[in-house]
Amino acid sequence: MADGAKPKAAAAKKKRYLRQKAMERVLLALVPVQAGAVYFFGWRTLVLTLVLCLVGAGVEYGMARRRGDPLTAAVFVTATLLSLSLPPTCPFWIGIVGVGVAVLFGKEVFGGFARNVFNPAIVGRAFVYVSFPIELTGAFVPVWKGGLAGLLHWGARHDLDGLHAVTSSTPLLAHREHGFVTDLGQLFVGNIGQVFTGSDGVSRVLNAGSAGEVSTLLILLGAAYLLWTRTANWRLMCSTLGGAVLAVVLFRHLGGVSAVPALPWMLCAGGLMYAAVFMVTDPVSAPKETAAQFAYGLFIGFMIVFFRWKAVFPEGVGFAILLGNTVGPTLDLLARAWTDWRAARTAPAAAEGQAP
């Protein structure tokens, strides 16, 4: 038996690709979001995703083969999440840099899959946004509208009503800097793009956000599939939204901060919903203890709203998740310590109750 098992073990070690059903289900959940990106911004968004998948797989394979590990399906999730979190007109070379950093420094330097501390896609996204802020904050555009919309176009829309549309006036920035509140229905469906007049009297083009965060409806379809298949942890997803709700209630309704938008608008705008469904629920970088998962999600959701109010970048999702990744192991330790303390307190009482 032992001799027969050796060839099987050797074959397993030489396996070049490791199928991960959970990761493949995440990719399926991202199909509506990716299809929406093509519909709203053109086929270029799909090509960018494919390019990042190829580059990411190449980086992981080059590192993993040195350890004798196979290529994993998780790298395609990382590349797709990163691609859809970028502006629709993001230069290909910036996306390639981002996925290289995501896979190499977000995962491989820790030893590969399931050993990383930070969400790799967020590592790559944060790196390129900090390194190339001008190129990325000026890469947002309005969506194509009507009929087949972006299905008839290679790239995104660059003009609207005679105005150059490639600016940074996304719904979040338009609200914070120019006092314009995008229609909630447009945020939910993804039909974002119009000329608006800000509080300064200047006409600007309202642009959508990153390629995958535009339509809350499509994101919720992916969320429903992940929850139905029990791929994503509902505690992480719901607690993130709960943290955002708590922050809005605290800052806007109790603190009277009008700069913090109303709750439904805050949940649908920007990448909050996309992050809650696909990023925070990453099973590797999230805590494992139940109490810690609730605290982790609440912390991230709360910090997203806080960063949107106070930080230089109007979004805040990436930095909030990185902070959550940082405190996640500590939350797990605290949760285990609390469980052990409660067990130690109840054990003597249980022993006394069983004594004759």
Mean predicted confidence (pLDDT) in 69-82: 95
- Residue-wise pLDDT tens digits, 321-343: 999 999 999 999 999 999 888 88
Confidence of residue 59 (pLDDT cuts 50, 70, 90): very high
Look at residue 130 in the predicted model and tell me its pLDDT: 92
| 295/252 Cα distance (integer angstroms) | 22
- Residue-wise pLDDT tens digits, 88-119: 999 999 999 999 999 999 999 998 888 899 99
- Residue-wise pLDDT tens digits, 21-42: 999 999 999 999 999 999 999 9
Look at residue 9 in the predicted model and tell me its pLDDT: 44
Average per-residue pLDDT in the chain? 90
Residue 201 has pLDDT above 90, yes or no: no
Distances (CA, A) of 240 to 171, 246, 320: 21, 10, 11
Residue 353 has pLDDT above 70, yes or no: no
- Between these two residues, 313 and 272, which has the higher pLDDT value? 272
Residue 293 in contact with residue 280, Cβ under 8 Å?
A: no
Question: Could you say which DSSP state residue 143 is in?
Answer: P
Degrees to nearest 5, angle at CA 317 with 316 and 318 = 100
Look at residue 280 in the predicted model and tell me its pLDDT: 97
| 223/220 Cα distance (integer angstroms) | 5
Residue 81 in contact with residue 285, Cβ under 8 Å?
A: no
Mean predicted confidence (pLDDT) in 58-87: 94
- Write down the pTM of the prediction: 0.91
- Residue-wise pLDDT tens digits, 253-300: 999 999 899 999 999 999 999 999 999 999 999 999 999 999 999 999
Residue for token digits 């052990």?
A: 340
- Between these two residues, 239 and 20, which has the higher pLDDT value? 239
Closest CA to 294 of 212, 340, 234: 234
Residue for token digits 């945020």?
A: 187
Say what percent of the chain tops pLDDT 90: 71
| 129/86 Cα distance (integer angstroms) | 9
Distances (CA, A) of 123 to 32, 223, 279, 284: 24, 22, 11, 14
167-171, 179-183, 201-205: the lowest-pLDDT one: 167-171
- Between these two residues, 9 and 321, which has the higher pLDDT value? 321
